[in-house]
Chain A
Amino acid sequence: MATHQQAKKQRSRADWLLLILGVVLGSAFGFWITPTILYAEKPQPFQFDHKIHLEQVDDGCKSCHTFREDGSFTGIPDIESCKECHSADEALGEDPAEKEFMKYLQADQPIPWLVYSRQPDCVFFSHAAHSENAGFECSRCHGDHGQSTSLRPYEYNRITGYSRDIWGKGPIGLSGPPHRMKMDDCAKCHRENGVNGACFVCHK
């Protein structure tokens, strides 16, 4: 018993330093190295300036991101929508991205955009319910994506293949947009607003 107490007293400054170092290294591994290993990056097909486009249109996000008659959301506009302003004959700008874009336009090929906010297959999300019925601004979930001047690389989980935006950038949810789009986040908002929280409301 006596020797045990003695050993406790003999804990030196180096011991404490080692402990702190361990905590710091462990945290670094958990918060920094693990996400780096877990997520891979892919570049978008070419750069896109949301801000410059938003300045040209009248109806905000809804000018290009529209609803179909049946209430489904078109998501990222197809090349036909681009053609409403852009023509295959002449580029409108000098940007190197424009050159890339012209290739798709001339070939009349769809642009293989990577969707940051694509949910897993089992999720049913109705844009109509949120933006039309509940009257949410797009930025409430998508952040200031509409004001961005470039597209950040698409990050995806190496194991599941899902976009990192669903998980959210901040590991403890303190950082800003892109906002987390996990089931807990959907359920939290539904609970707070008294919206039906049954499984089939969001699952298919």
Chain B
Amino acid sequence: MWRKDQVRYGMVIDVDKCTGCGACSVACMSENNVGVLHDETDKIKSITWLRVYQIDNGKPFPDTEVAFFPRPCMHCQGGESGTPGQGFFQEDTDPDAAHTPCVSVCPATATDYDDATGIVSQIPTRCIGCRYCVAACPYHARYFNWYDVPWPKGTPRALSPFVSPRMRGVVEKCTFCYPRLQQAKNKTFLDGSEVGEMDYQTACTEACPSGAITFGQLQDPGHKVHKLIKTDHAFRMLEKLGTNPKVYYTSKRKWVRMLADNHLSQAKAAKAAASGGH
């Protein structure tokens, strides 16, 4: 439940601007001490907090179109959400209706929804590794550490001291670079200022060479993201699940918007209806 004195951090990713270069993924791994495993070709066991997916419109050449979807954690809240037309990020006024899929299933309270920031945390030291949250997340944003990262000799010295590295047997995910907010807040305590839009930006936002990622406070009219989510082209992934994610995408291409909500094509929908499936 959102109150006026609380903020809601969110992200807007312009799919039309994304070239799929993967700089965001690299920046994310570097920022958050995500290691490189022995066999990174094993994509089921490798860890990518921010993964770039490639989709296409399914048409044969020369009508083929491709789009890329960078996918961080969506920081879901659940409940009744505002439509893209309404633009403003809405949260249910009933706290009991709030439902973050991963948070609601965690038996160890290793992940929680922070009402002050709208960020879903992940505390690896508290995680018991049951992977219930991994199964609950509709976005596959959560990753299990199947191995200890084999840091080559000397490399641990290059790790960020602001992010605690994880061990095998626990789950991790994108945190919207929360330690950056902690550092930004530190400064405000000293000089009495407020955390401004540019004081807290995620690593992926800064790294994106085409400026496809925008980050800020969704509820603040002064922030860029607030305006971007009001456009008609804004949408969210799998919106119909009611997870109320705080990562928005924009695309002027209709097929991209349709695919993001997993809309079936007319033909497939008719076939499914005929067979009694769903």
Q: Which of B121, B123, B189 contacts A129 (CB 8 A)?
A: B189
Chain A nearest Cβ from B124, distance in angstroms: 7
Chain B 114-141 interface 0/1 with A at a Cβ cutoff of 8 Å (1 = within): 1111010101111000000000000000
| Contact of A128 with B175 in the complex, beta carbons under 8 Å | no
| A126 sits at the interface (CB 8 A) | yes
| A113 sits at the interface (CB 8 A) | no
Would A200 and B175 be within 8 Å (CB), given that A122-B124, A122-B164 are in contact? yes
Which residues of chain B from 146 to 161 have a CB within 8 Å of any chain A CB? none
Q: Chain A: which residue is nearest B124 at the CB level?
A: A122
We find that the number of chain A residues with CB closer than 8 angstroms to chain B is 21
| Contact of A71 with B164 in the complex, beta carbons under 8 Å | no
| A147 sits at the interface (CB 8 A) | no
CA gap between A61 and B185 in the complex, in Å: 23
**Contact partners of B178 in chain A: CB under 8 A:** 200, 204
| Contact of B185 with A198 in the complex, beta carbons under 8 Å | no
| Contact of B121 with A198 in the complex, beta carbons under 8 Å | yes
Q: Which of B125, B163, B164, B185 contacts A126 (CB 8 A)?
A: B185
| A104 sits at the interface (CB 8 A) | no
CA gap between A117 and B111 in the complex, in Å: 26
Chain A 58-76 interface 0/1 with B at a Cβ cutoff of 8 Å (1 = within): 0000000001011110000
Would A199 and B186 be within 8 Å (CB), given that A204-B163, A204-B178 are in contact? no
Q: Which of B116, B119, B124, B186 contacts A72 (CB 8 A)?
A: B186
Chain A nearest Cβ from B98, distance in angstroms: 13
| B30 sits at the interface (CB 8 A) | no
Q: Which of B114, B125, B186 contacts A200 (CB 8 A)?
A: B114
CA gap between A199 and B114 in the complex, in Å: 8
CA gap between A89 and B228 in the complex, in Å: 64
**Contact partners of A203 in chain B: CB under 8 A:** 121, 123, 125, 164
**Contact partners of A129 in chain B: CB under 8 A:** 185-186, 189
Give me 22 A-to-B residue pairs in the complex whose CB atoms sit less than 8 angstroms apart, sorted by A's number: A69-B190, A71-B183, A71-B190, A72-B186, A126-B186, A128-B189, A129-B189, A132-B189, A196-B115, A198-B112, A198-B115, A198-B117, A199-B111, A199-B114, A200-B114, A200-B117, A200-B182, A201-B114, A203-B121, A204-B164, A204-B179, A204-B182
Nearest 8 A-B pairs (CB), nearest first? A71-B186, A198-B114, A128-B189, A71-B187, A199-B121, A200-B121, A122-B164, A133-B189
